[in-house]
Structure 1
Amino acid sequence: MSHFAFYENVTACEECDFINPIPPLKSGERFRCQHCGHVLISVHRQVAARIMAAGLSSLLMLALAMSFPFLGFSTNGIERTVTLFHTLSVLLSQGHLVLGSIISLALFVFPLVYLFSILFLVWSFQHKPILNFAQRYCVRWVVVIQPWLMVDVFLVGILVALVKMNSLADISFELSFWAFCGYVILLLKTESLVDKRWLWNKVAGKADDQSVVTGTAKEQGVIGCHFCGATLAAHKRHCNRCGHSVYSRRPKSLSSTAALLVASLLIYIPANVFPIMETTFLGNTEPSTIMGGVLLLWSLGSYPVALIILLASVVIPLAKVLSLSWLCWQCHFPSKRLTEQKIKLYRITEFVGRWSMIDVFVVAILTSMVQMGNFMSILPGTAVLSFTAMVVLTMLAAMTFDPRLLWDKDEARTVSVSERREE
């Protein structure tokens, strides 16, 4: 098995700022930070061919998912089928432009931009000469969009919506639903094959190695680029390889995170007070809040779905706010708790953030399926936009938080304790 030597010799971990010498890597191997265990590089066997195959297949599955009926719906002799595109068109036709825009971004715009960008990059690596600036823009799009891909969350939202409707109507899975499942699996596979350091090495070559030894980049007067993994001299303001802004620590990280958390808490109040969905049945309209929907599902015996909604829409958003608030506090007043545990909490908080969008997707799906006038119809409530904004703000708060600050305080506390012992 051959070694891969296209990576630079050293890189700085984006979570702890520790300088890591990169050994020769074999296909199938992962290289983790020697200090905090964060995965820095993933090397895949025949990665270009596999990305091309998975990416093209996911586009084919999306085309099939758009071409045929998606779900079937029947109640009291009334039958109808909906397509995937119908989910978007119903929201836009009824004036829910913001919610429709969110669905279009999650289902079509972001995934398509991501797939076309990565496919173009892989193709361009084998067909030179090619415009290098186009490659650079595509890598930037791939890195920036990846955290906002939510097709898997949308698929879970579909299943939750169908469980909600199971007591009111008969639901059938049509051909496009299975194609959409294939699209989700293949898109996730494409994501798992993409490594940003590999992309930048292919687009811009190896970074100039700095003369460093084991320790943090800040201690040695160098800066690690978050965007491509290069190490640069401390006086640099932009990366020589990718052109992205570089900084030893994210500017105004704690104040930005705190501001976003306060805003998310404030907007979470109307998200719970006002109805997130309005259901009309036989001319009677009944609004439903987030907790109201959870209690209704529980009373109907749908305990697993009720717990999913409770976790995704109530527990996780509040837990994210509390976790990030505590981490910000630890950056000012660190406790004796191990920093490794704080970093694990940060990673979990960052990972689960997008799953709070399940309830928003559930409302969008039910709205597209159930439109039968006064007999039965479902419309989004005023709380949908507030809840969506809350999810986005907490995701941005996690992105603006700089976990390296936790290690800085940990090192400062360790030095202080050692000095007191010497005295």
Structure 2
Amino acid sequence: MISTVPHNVRGVAASCPQCTSSLGRIWHPDMRIPRGWALAAGLFYLLALAGPFVQISIFGRLQRADIATGPLQLTVQGFDLVGFLVLAVTIIFPGIKLGIVLLTLFGIRLEHQPTRFLKAIFRWYPLIGPWAMVDVYLLGFLVAYTRLTAMATVHLDLSLFALVGLMISMAALDGSLDTGAIWDALDTGPAPRPIDADHRGGHLIGCHCCFLINRAEPGMACTRCDTVLRDRKPDSIVRSWAFVIAAMALYIPANLYPVMLITQLARTTPFTIMGGIVELFAAGLWPLGLLVLLASIAIPLVKLLSMACMLIEAQRPSGRHLLGLTRTYRFVAFIGRWSMIDVFMVSILVALVRFGQFANVQASTGAACFAGVVVITMFAVESFDPRLMWDGAREAAPETPPDPTLIAEPA
């Protein structure tokens, strides 16, 4: 659906009149604000990688760990894919995201800006964003910290506080960055012809990357960012069902098999996800227990059931609850990444607790299965096109379309 959003009005938030999805905030802030946050985030990122962020002492023996230690130990223990996943979402993707933003924000200031290069890299910003999980990693550390204090003396180092600063500055950067204004600054082509109220003048396709409305056919390139234009995501239902079924197959062993084996004084105890939650409740850590229960049990299950309902609606449209299902899609797209808490907890514990028969943590099959559930459900959400539900409902019972004008409220 095409909605008219005036660019000369500031201080309002625009929403789609059909599904209430946010069309963005109309504000065009000073680019110096996101530039400052990007520089701060870059500094914190380098400090976070500069040294260990925590160290523990057991029986007089000391062990330190930096962010990369956990992925390395997971690889040593035979969980190569899980190790690479943790490395990617805690170090590689945050670094790439910051690099993209810094290059773009400072590149558009140049008199002879490398427009093609800046467009090529900024296209990746919305794709990389959900996979930069510094905030989720810190919650995983909080859960791991409760286990560490029960078996060792824990000392927090400077890099941990740099990680907290990185989390805050990246959140502020995301909140202050006006992607629409950046695409406008990168748009050096001729101004597009205005679109009349009846949307006449050729086939119209909205670019999912830079949001420009193009007069083009599917398969052609966006005139602003060169992204291939599609009316709908290709093979959306087939790919989404494949991911949902694969995630369902992994969800059961992820909860039945232990995610780690903890050895203390030559005695090894397996811990499942639910076992860890029960232990947190028993220790009186109700907020953390509820957090892990929601992130590791409830959220993956809700995502799988919600995706199944949305896929069924897209294939056999009833026209009922479309608004609720669309809002559910946005909700599961937002919360999916937070299920990585348990995976991060395991990576931190295997990095630190390496004292042989005195104390040791070994990752187990459940951790690999659960990491697979999280990643595959994120792919399922990304593959699904919620517009297919509305398409099916319109074909089943055509209705008068809503007024394609702006729904605006104070930002």
Q: TM-score, normalised by structure 1?
A: 0.86
Query: In structure 1, what residue type is equivalent to 2:25?
Result: S
Offset from partner CA, 1:123-167 (integer Å, 9 cap, x none): 111113233321122112212201212111001111111123332
Give yes or no for contact 1:113–1:141 (8 Å, CA) kept in 2: no
* Matched AA of 2:140: G
2:195 corresponds in structure 1 to 211
State the secondary structure of the residue aligned to 2:261.
strand
Amino acid at match of 2:164: C
**CA 1:94 to 1:415, structure 2 compared with 1: closer, same or farther past 3 Å?**
closer
Residue 118 of structure 1 pairs with residue 79 of structure 2: no
Deviation at 1:349?
1.0
1:53 maps to 2:36: yes
Give the match for residue 210 of structure 2: 228
Match runs of 1:316-355 below 5 Å: 316-335=299-318, 337-355=320-338
Aligned identity (percent) is: 31
Measure how far apart 1:115 and its partner are. Answer: 0.8
Taking the aligned partners of 1:69 and 1:248, their CA distance within structure 2 comes to 48
Letter in 1 for 2:197: V
273, 276, 281: which is aligned to 1:290?
273
Aligned to 1:104: 87
- 1:264-275 to structure 2, matched below 5 A, reads 264-275=247-258
Distance 1:91 1:252 in 2: 35
Per-residue Cα deviation, 1:54-76 (whole angstroms, up to 9, x for no partner): 11111111222233441232344
Give the secondary-structure state (helix, strand or coil) at the position aligned to 1:279: strand
Q: 1:85-234 maps to which residues of 2 (within 5 A)? A: 85-205=68-188, 208-209=192-193, 211-213=195-197, 221-234=203-216
Once residues 355 and 166 of structure 1 are traced to their aligned partners in structure 2, the CA distance between those partners, rounded to angstroms, is: 23
| SS of structure 2 residue aligned to 1:72 | strand
Q: Is the 8 A contact 1:47 1:193 kept in 2?
A: no
393-402 or 238-247, which deviates more: 238-247
Which residue of 218, 233, 255 maps to 2:238? Answer: 255
Q: List per-residue Cα deviations over 1:274-332 (Å, max 9, x = no partner).
A: 22111111122222222222223233333222222221111111110100100111123
- Report the Cα offset of residue 343 of structure 1: 1.1
Whose relative contact order is higher, 1 or 2, with alpha carbons under 8 Å and at least 6 apart? Answer: 2
CA distance in 1, matches of 2:350, 2:30: 41
1:230 maps to amino acid: L
Distance 1:103 1:332, change over 3 A: closer
Shift of 1:247: 1.6
1:48, distance to aligned residue in structure 2 (A): 1.9
How far apart are residue 186 of structure 1 and its match? 0.5
Question: Which piece of structure 1 moves more, 266-275 or 28-37?
Answer: 28-37
One-letter amino acid of the counterpart of residue 303, structure 2: K
Supply the AA of the counterpart residue of 1:213: A
SS at match of 1:415: coil
Work out the CA distance in 1 between the residues paired with 2:385 and 2:289. Answer: 34
Offset, 1:240: 1.9
> Are residues 210 and 246 of structure 1, via their aligned partners in 2, closer, same or farther at CA, if it must alter by over 3 Å?
farther
How far apart are 1:84 and its partner, in Å? 3.2
Query: Which whole-Å CA distance do the structure 2 matches of 1:412 and 1:303 have between them?
Result: 49
In the superposition, the TM-score normalised over structure 2's length comes to 0.89
User: Does structure 2 conserve the Cα–Cα contact (< 8 Å) formed by 1:275 and 1:382?
Assistant: yes
- The answer to whether residue 351 in structure 2 is matched with residue 380 in structure 1 is no
| Conserved 8 A contact 1:212-1:220 | no
Q: 2 CA distance for matches of 1:211 and 1:28?
A: 24
Q: Offset at 1:236?
A: 4.4
Residue 364 of structure 1 deviates from its aligned partner by 0.3
Q: Return the alpha-carbon distance in structure 1 between the equivalents of residues 47 and 10 of structure 2.
A: 33
Change (3 A) 1:347 1:369: same
1:356 aligns with 2:339: yes
Pick closer, same or farther for the CA change 1:125–1:401 going to 2, 3 Å: same
Q: Distance in 2 between matches of 1:320 and 1:236?
A: 30
The secondary structure found in structure 2 opposite 1:372 is coil
Cα distance in 1, alignment partners of residues 83 and 275 from structure 2: 24
In the alignment, the residues of structure 1 paired with residue 198 and residue 164 of structure 2 have an alpha-carbon distance, to the nearest angstrom, of 46
User: Is residue 392 of structure 2 the alignment partner of residue 396 of structure 1?
Assistant: no
Gaps of 5+ in 2: 402-411
- 1:71-86 alignment runs, 5 A limit: 71-86=54-69
Q: Is the 8 A contact 2:28 2:178 kept in 1?
A: no
8 Å Cα contact 1:209-1:231 kept in structure 2: no
Aligned residue-pair number: 399
After the TM superposition, which of the residue ranges 154-163 and 335-344 deviates more from structure 2?
335-344
- The 1:53/1:336 distance shift into structure 2, 3 A limit, reads same
Cα deviation, residue 104, structure 1: 1.6
Q: Give the root-mean-square deviation of aligned CA atoms.
A: 2.6
Return the offset for 1:113.
Answer: 0.9
1:36 aligns with 2:19: yes
Unaligned runs of at least 5 residues, structure 1: 1-17, 419-423
State the secondary structure of the residue aligned to 1:371: coil
